[in-house]
């Protein structure tokens, strides 16, 4: 920590080279990369990827590992305790802000907050969508009791909060009773437009991609069920890329997929690395993710930045996609709307498709003021 730059200490369950946790890893990595020139960043996380039982190979645990954007400590299971978390925090100057990501992880959310309170350190909590109604609906009783207990203990009285959307600001205020003055609204920092070489679009054929874990909140089953109403003259290939989070839900998805007629093919591809996913976009005509809710939706904006139209629910920050001609955001109750969009897109030939969607990546880039976001994050952690 010999740098003259101000320090920033980040706690999160998963970080690079992990990728299976999806959006949160991307959010923190993009933040670290873009703030590396302004802050001396340290990140504390698990020594393995989401859903993995094995540590990262060739990465030493419980010591600082230097990456280009930050130094990272990957804690093994033996050192994932309050004593270790507090000792890490205590080694930093008292003015170092502590950035806590998530709400329910004992080691990487609760312990850092407890240690920050004990050591009287400034701490900023990013719920990462965990207070959204759709997220609290899953294991809701347990989560609500947990939050109520911490509120009674006064654990959030000294905390500042970071939200990435207006919806998340409202969730923080509603669930925790936090005054809006203590909540900073700054969107996640996205990637950049990517030049993608596409294979041609054929009329009456549609290649659909989904990048998401297999879990109820991602609504994968609904996406498969929507295909039932696609007429037989339209050929659809639907590839779902992502780890299985809920095995029983996955079994339901497989049963539904197996029952579809022959002109509708569904493939469960499992996990893929970011590099592997990057290569997929040019082979697909549509990104389809009708999730129950997204705090940000990195997979959605990634698809747009690769020039791929998206079909999503109306429960994400990405709205009015029809007006922008980059896809559609449709209410989950409007199943006919989803089917009609898919059929209309399927009927397009290459000329129609390119004439409608050739501007997607450049339009997506205009939706985000990256320099302004970086400046706002810098102010957040400097205050």
Confidence of residue 302 (pLDDT cuts 50, 70, 90): very high
Evaluate if residue 60 carries a pLDDT over 60. yes
What's the CATH code, domain 205-366? 3.40.50.2000
What is the C-alpha to C-alpha distance for residues 173 and 194, in angstroms, rounded to an integer? 37
Burial class (CB in 10 A: 0-12, 13-18, 19+), 27: buried
Mean pLDDT of 7-18: 98
Q: Residue for token digits 């959204």?
A: 132
pLDDT at residue 207, rounded to an integer: 98
Q: What percent of the chain has pLDDT over 90?
A: 80
Q: What is the pLDDT of residues 167-186, one digit of tens each?
A: 999 999 999 998 888 999 99
* 121-156 pLDDT per residue, tens: 999 999 999 998 888 888 878 998 999 998 888 889
64-111: pLDDT as tens digits: 999 999 999 999 999 999 999 999 999 999 999 999 999 999 999 999
Q: For position 383, what pLDDT does the model report?
A: 67
Looking at the chain, which residues constitute the CATH 3.40.50.2000 domain(s)? 7-190+369-382, 205-366
Q: Is the pLDDT of residue 329 over 60?
A: yes
**Residue at token pair 């990435």:** 164
How does pLDDT run across 14-44, given as a tens digit for each residue? 999 999 998 889 999 999 999 999 999 999 9
The mean pLDDT of 245-259, rounded to a whole number, is 97
| Per-residue pLDDT, 364 | 87
User: Per CATH, is 7-190+369-382 categorized as 3.40.50.2000?
Assistant: yes
Which ranges constitute the DSSP H helices of 227-369?
A: 247-258, 274-278, 298-305, 321-324, 335-347, 350-357, 360-366
Strands 123-126, 160-163: pairing kind:
parallel
Min mean pLDDT across 1-15, 69-83, 343-357 is at 1-15
Question: 190-216 pLDDT, tens per residue?
Answer: 877 788 888 999 999 999 999 999 999
Weakest-pLDDT range from 113-122, 178-187, 333-342: 178-187
Longest dimension (CA), the chain: 67
Average pLDDT, the chain: 94
Tokens of 184: 């900073």
If we measure between CA atoms, which residue out of 261, 254, 274, 208 comes closest to residue 230?
261
Q: CA of 329: how far to CAs of 121, 229, 259, 290, 311, in Å?
A: 42, 19, 27, 8, 6
How would you class 129 by CB atoms within 10 Å of its CB: exposed for 0-12, middle for 13-18, buried for 19 or more?
buried
344: left (phi over 0), alpha (psi -120 to 50) or beta: alpha
pLDDT score of 135: 87
Q: For the ranges 220-234, 333-347, 356-370, which has the lowest average pLDDT? A: 356-370
Q: What is the pLDDT of residue 366?
A: 83
């Amino acid at each position: 920590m010999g740098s003259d730059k101000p320090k920033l200490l980040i706690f999160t369950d998963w970080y690079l080279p992990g990728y299976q946790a999806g959006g949160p890893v991307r959010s923190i990595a993009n933040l670290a990369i873009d703030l590396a020139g302004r802050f001396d960043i340290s990140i504390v996380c698990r020594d393995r990827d989401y859903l993995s039982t094995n540590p990262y190979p060739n990465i030493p645990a419980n010591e600082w590992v230097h990456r280009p954007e930050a130094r990272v400590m990957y804690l093994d299971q033996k050192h994932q305790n309050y004593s270790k978390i507090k000792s890490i925090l205590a080694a930093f100057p008292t003015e170092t802000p502590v950035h806590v990501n998530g709400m329910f992880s004992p080691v990487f959310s609760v312990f850092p907050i407890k240690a920050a309170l004990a050591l009287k350190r400034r701490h900023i909590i990013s719920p990462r969508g965990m207070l959204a109604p759709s997220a609290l609906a899953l294991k809701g009783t347990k989560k609500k009791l947990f939050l109520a207990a911490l509120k009674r203990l006064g654990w959030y009285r000294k905390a500042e909060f970071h939200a990435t959307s207006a919806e998340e600001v409202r969730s923080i205020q509603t669930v925790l009773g936090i005054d809006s003055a203590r909540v900073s609204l700054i969107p996640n920092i996205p990637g950049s437009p990517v030049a993608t070489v596409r294979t041609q679009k054929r009329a009456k054929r549609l290649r659909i991609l989904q990048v998401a874990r297999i879990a109820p909140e991602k609504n994968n089953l609904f996406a498969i069920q929507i295909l039932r109403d696609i007429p037989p003259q339209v050929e659809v290939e639907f590839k779902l890329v992502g780890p299985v989070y809920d095995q029983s839900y996955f079994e339901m998805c497989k049963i539904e997929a197996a029952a579809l007629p022959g002109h509708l093919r569904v493939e469960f591809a499992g996990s893929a690395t970011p590099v592997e996913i990057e290569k997929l976009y040019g082979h697909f005509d549509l990104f389809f993710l009708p999730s129950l809710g997204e705090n940000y939706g990195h997979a959605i904006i990634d698809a747009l930045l690769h020039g791929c139209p998206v079909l999503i629910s109306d429960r994400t920050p990405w709205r009015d996609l029809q007006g922008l001609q980059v896809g559609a955001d449709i209410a989950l109750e409007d199943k006919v709307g989803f089917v009609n969009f898919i059929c209309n897109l399927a009927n397009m030939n290459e000329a129609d498709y390119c004439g409608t969607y050739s501007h997607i990546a450049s339009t997506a880039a205009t939706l985000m003021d990256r320099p302004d976001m970086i400046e706002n994050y810098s102010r957040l952690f400097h205050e």
